[in-house]
Copies of this chain bind each other. A is one copy, B any other.
Amino acid sequence: MPTGFRSDSFRFNTKGIFEGLSAESLQRLDDASVTHLYKKGEIVFREGGIPSGIFYLLKGKVKKYKTTGKGAEQVFYVCTAGELLGYHAVLSEEHYPDSAATIEDSEITFIPRENFLNVLHASSVLSNKLLKTLGHEFSVFINAITNLATKSVRERVALNLLILDEKFKREEKQEAASEINMSRTDLANMVGTAKESLVRLLQQFKIEGLIESNGRIIRILNKKGIIREANLSGGHQKVF
């Protein structure tokens, strides 16, 4: 049973989705798009809303989440620069099933639904890329489900630290430990546990020298150790 952390298994593949498009298609998308600045904490779209277009995250970070009747919030994904948001509901022709909100100051380009669909329907390059991306998402989701259903909270905390470590990598310092900067509440909602349980486990990891923290910022000190705690297994590569 292979072991190790393969960030690919937890990441959607929308980065570079518009690469390889014809100049005409790109122009049509560009002409229709508008870019806005979002402050930390702003909502991009809301569960139940009618999708009017898709969003391209130029800069910043966005959490995707779903709220429950009881007010709980499940964060199931964190988008980083270069990722696309909100296309599922446009494709499925349904209301947004989830909400999206910035977790840091961000810059987001909006492409109206009609323009996106026109380009999509005209471009087999784009539709094939999107099909490939969506096929990959399936594997990301079943990983997420399996981990939620079978791993302990401790294992899930470790796993999510690894996922976030990738997301908070800075271009300048690829090698340095990332500075994971997320509220404890968001982290707990991502792990699927109570905030207090999350804090206690972070405290343990800290005592064991696996991580350090400074205010809300978390740094992984011993990645192998965290990988061990996450108890990973499986992971598969490209075929063709």
- Total residues of chain A contacting the partner, CB 8 A: 60
Q: Are B142 and A145 touching (Cβ within 8 A)?
A: no
Stretch of A15-23, A36-44, A94-102 lying at the B interface = A94-102
Q: Which of B128, B132, B141 contacts A145 (CB 8 A)?
A: B141
Residues of B within 8 A of A142 (CB): 64, 66, 74, 76, 97-98
Q: Which of B3, B74, B95, B233 contacts A146 (CB 8 A)?
A: B74
Question: Considering the chains assembled together, what is the distance between the CA atoms of A50 and B87 in angstroms?
Answer: 29
Distance between A69 CB and nearest chain B CB, rounded to angstroms: 3
Residue A88, interface by CB 8 Å: yes
Distance between A167 CB and nearest chain B CB, rounded to angstroms: 18
Q: Are A127 and B138 touching (Cβ within 8 A)?
A: no
Q: Are A130 and B131 touching (Cβ within 8 A)?
A: yes
Q: Which of B90, B127, B141 contacts A141 (CB 8 A)?
A: B141
Count of this chain's copies in the oligomeric assembly: 2
Residue A174, interface by CB 8 Å: no
Q: Which of B132, B143, B145 contacts A148 (CB 8 A)?
A: B145
Q: Are A150 and B76 touching (Cβ within 8 A)?
A: no
Residue A93, interface by CB 8 Å: yes
Residue A236, interface by CB 8 Å: yes
Q: Are A144 and B146 touching (Cβ within 8 A)?
A: no
Q: Are B145 and A92 touching (Cβ within 8 A)?
A: no
Residue A212, interface by CB 8 Å: no
Which chain B residue has the least Cβ–Cβ distance from A151? B68
Q: Which of B94, B96, B144, B240 contacts A237 (CB 8 A)?
A: B94
Which chain B residue has the least Cβ–Cβ distance from A74? B146
Residues of B within 8 A of A1 (CB): 69
Residues of B within 8 A of A50 (CB): 239
Question: Considering the chains assembled together, what is the distance between the CA atoms of A91 and B134 in angstroms?
Answer: 8
Q: Which of A74, A145, A237 has the most CB of B within 10 A?
A: A145
